[in-house]
Amino acid sequence: MSSILVTGATGGLGRQTLEFLAKYAPPGTTLLATTRDTSKIPENLKGAGANITFRQADFDDPIDKLAEAFRGADKLLVIATNSLDHGKRVSQVCNAIDAAAKAGVGRVYYTSFSMGGWADESVCGLQKAHYACEGRLKSCGADYTIIREGIYLDAFTMLLGWKPDSKEVYIPFDGPIHFSPRRELAEGTARLLLSSSHKNSTALFTGPYTITFSRLVELINEVMETNAEFKIVGLEPYVKGLVANGQSEEFAKWWSSFFVAVGNGETETTDGLLEELLGRKRVDTVEYVRGILKETKETGGYVWADVVKS
């Protein structure tokens, strides 16, 4: 039977992917996982019940050390780091890809980003970093699968910069966005790892349909019973606003490039692969958002992330 290794095992996507692998993997499958800090391993992934072997590894480790942590894996999932520094992210991921190839991994999977859909060009700074990593993956010598993961629906409040007491919400541009809940992305990733499909090719995971930021603000006001004003302010005023709130101009422009891409239509592509892998109808985007907002209203307990910081 095969062995599957998941990196970033204590992060949101990695942890949930491991949960689904433990649930769906055939008997005899060896599940391995790496994390920078083994003290953060969730209780439900420890012990004989989960049957997962954890190893300590850091994408900044020397390549020989990292390769040793990856040794024995037939398939290895490289989950992109969360660094907002373009150069650092590319360096870390490429180091992991090179280490996987050196360890003799049969196939390396990489969680890229779905901005631009099937295209290989984007104005989004984050997507450009992913393209650089995709290029290294294709040339590393091992078989590969690129998973262009959809934009996390769970993060819509962070992208909007919205909090329950917000009186207004402003972004530079709006457009159709193929959001997906992170848990569905994790399950789809697990099921793809357990299959033999998409060898030396790209899998695109998107939501079942698109939704705009303006519609999300309508839902916020509807569920929260508020009257937050939605504004599309254009690029220069938006960047100036971020800088006035303490961001560097370089970071503000980098962050804003996401919205430029949205305005250019880079997030309008949808694909049915994720629903096919799940084997069921997808979670409805609007109802999922309503659920998040109802939880926020009733308990105040929903926090995805604060307004992004550089």
Q: In what order do the strands lie in the sheet with 201-204?
A: 52-56, 30-35, 3-6, 75-79, 107-113, 143-149, 201-204
pLDDT tens-digit profile, the chain (310 residues): 699 999 999 999 999 999 999 999 999 999 999 999 999 998 888 876 678 999 999 999 999 999 999 999 999 999 998 877 888 999 999 999 999 999 999 999 999 999 999 999 999 999 999 999 999 999 999 999 999 999 999 999 999 999 888 999 999 999 999 999 999 999 999 999 999 999 999 999 999 999 999 999 999 999 999 999 999 999 999 999 999 999 999 999 999 999 999 999 999 999 999 999 999 999 999 999 999 999 888 887 666 544 444 3
The candidate with the shortest Cα–Cα distance to 284, out of 217, 184, 212, 204, is: 184
Neighbours of 46 (CB within 10 A): 11
CATH number listed for the domain at residues 3-153+179-205: 3.40.50.720
CA distance 97 to 67: 9
- At residue 24's C-alpha, the angle toward residues 20 and 25, to 5°, is 110
Q: Which residues pair with 113 in a beta bridge?
A: 149
What is the tally of helices (H) and strands (E) in the chain?
12, 9
The answer to whether 164 touches 224, Cβ cutoff 8 Å, is yes
CA distance 45 to 22: 9
The candidate with the shortest Cα–Cα distance to 31, out of 22, 42, 39, 40, is: 22
Domain limits, the chain: 3-153+179-205
